[in-house]
Amino acid sequence: MPTTITAAVVAKAKADARPGSKRYEVSDARAKGLVLRVGPSGAVWQFRFAVNGKDTRLALGDIETWTIAEARDIVGRGQAMLRDRSGMPDAKWIERLLVRTGKIAEATMAPAPERPRDVFKWSFEQGRAEFLGEMKRTKSPITAADYRQKICAAEFEPFLKRPLPTITRAEMAGVVGKIHRSGRETHAANTARVVSAMWSWLEKDQQIDAAGVTPGVMRGLKAPERTRRPSKRMVADPTLEDLGRIIAIARSGAIDPIIGCAVELVVWTAQRRRAVASPMIEDFRALNGDEEGLWYVYADDRKRSDGEAHVVPLPASAWACVKRAMAIVEAAWHRRLDDDPDASKPEYLFPQTRARRRGMPLTHLDPSTLTHAMGFMPGVENSPHDVRRIFGTYGERVLGWSRLSSKMILDHSEGGLRTDVTGKHYSLHDGTHEKWPIMRKWAAAVEEDVARAVEGLEPIDELKGAIAERRYKGSGLRMLAAE
């Protein structure tokens, strides 16, 4: 309970402050936050207050330095600073008071900040948490995770406790430049984009008062120019030989059958690996007596946060791959039912067999599994991303379709056809009538190379040995398949 600190209380504190004595505190009833702390090493004045819900103890000096009246005056000034948000009581402030009152000759610490109100604004860590929370609410899970990975990099740790208004564009440019100089040039460009997006969000009316940032301060932040690399010259027409071998190995039994089906679907559809790894069984629809089908790629499996599904036609060969995966998943579920009658039916076409970390739920294959599976295949040089490049290049140069046709299959927004007013509100057709000829022509071309690859395929034991060698010696890890 607070007690009015008097001369008698101070005298007793002096007497009690001796080696071996017990520690105790006396809270002053006349100056809220003023505390006299007594212990074996002496008796000192303290100012206790809270900022943003965090309790702080500021040492004012010992009882020989300040009288009771002076200590109360200091606490009163500190309370006024906090109330008016005109500054933060700290050790530098106490030192300036000591100099002003003649108790020490000169200050040895840095001067007060030019804008003391900045200390009451969000720190970088607080602003980042708010920004990432908003990205989780408004963006697709994949995009939100990408933002988190960029803005939570180790290079930002020195800024965590800094108030946002004190962080300059030059400092952020320095972080981006450091990443660029380390050789991660693409990462540097993406980091600059995310930092700029975060500051643009902090400038909005809803949070600018809490953030305190200057509008436009990070606008246009960019990474240094990328290093010029020799251009790739392709004189001969691209071939599908590699893709035929990929499917032949995927079907051979040399790799896990579910992973094999997923790798096949990459080749048949030319969709991004994250979309291929994560579809749910209900995303597929049978057509023509279960001979062909449609795949509805929803926003959560793409980089878009909302919008209509991207519909991919599946000709017979592609649909057979999907049906084979469904049969494998169904059979595995029935086997589990023998041991656990309450086992839930899998939702994903390519489910995980084990969680990535202990305690995490089982979901779907990790996209990197597809990259590694193709990288471990002997005689295969292409990654999942290369399949998309081959689809566009071979399709336009050899199979003869247009650039717009490539975009209808490869683009998230189908070449922009679904992003204008007509596509959003009036013409709601999925466009498959134009996509079917493209996908059937692609499937027919790939099937020819699959047949040739199967004829020349090595024995399964030889394939397994080669895959194991590439896997454990790391030669297949050369492809990271950035998308």
The distance of Cα 20 from the centroid of its chain, to the nearest Å, equals 54
> What does the pLDDT read at residue 477?
45
Q: Which residues pair with 36 in a beta bridge?
A: 26, 45
pLDDT in tens, 67-79: 999 999 999 999 9
The helix (H) or strand (E) run that includes residue 71 is: helix 68-84
Task: Note whether 292 and 317 are within 8 A (CB).
Answer: no
Beta pairing, strands 292-297 & 284-287: antiparallel
Q: What is the pTM of this model?
A: 0.63
DSSP category for residue 363: -
Distance CA 390, CA 208 (A): 47
Distance CA 249, CA 454 (A): 8
387 contacts: CB under 8 Å, gap ≥ 6: 243, 266, 267, 270
* Percent of the chain with pLDDT strictly greater than 70: 87
433: closest CA among 301, 317, 294? 294
Give the residue with greater pLDDT, 422 vs 438: 438
Residue whose pair of structure tokens reads 């595995």 in the numeric block: 332
Residue whose pair of structure tokens reads 């379709």 in the numeric block: 401
Distance CA 250, CA 380 (A): 12
DSSP category for residue 364: B
Confidence of residue 307 (pLDDT cuts 50, 70, 90): low
Task: State the chain's mean pLDDT as an integer.
Answer: 86
| 4 token code pair | 């009015």
pLDDT in tens, 228-240: 887 766 556 778 9
> What does the pLDDT read at residue 233?
63
Task: Note whether 346 and 281 are within 8 A (CB).
Answer: yes
Is the pLDDT confidence value at 196 over 70?
yes
- One-letter amino acid at 445 equals A
> What does the pLDDT read at residue 90?
87
Beta pairing, strands 284-287 & 34-39: unpaired
pLDDT in tens, 103-133: 876 545 444 455 666 677 899 999 999 999 9
Q: Which of 68-77, 203-212, 354-363 has the lowest mean pLDDT?
A: 354-363
DSSP category for residue 399: I
**Largest pairwise CA distance in the chain:** 102
483 contacts: CB under 8 Å, gap ≥ 6: 272, 273, 274, 384, 385
Task: Note whether 302 and 140 are within 8 A (CB).
Answer: yes
Distance CA 370, CA 375 (A): 8
Confidence of residue 480 (pLDDT cuts 50, 70, 90): very low
The alpha-helical segments, DSSP class H, found in 288-428 are: 316-339, 367-375, 384-394, 403-410, 421
336 contacts: CB under 8 Å, gap ≥ 6: 343
| 301 token code pair | 């499996």
Give the residue with greater pLDDT, 251 vs 340: 251
DSSP category for residue 224: P
Q: How buried is 114 (Cβ within 10 angstroms: 0-12 exposed, 13-18 middle, 19+ buried)? A: exposed
Neighbours of 481 (CB within 10 A): 19
Neighbours of 29 (CB within 10 A): 12
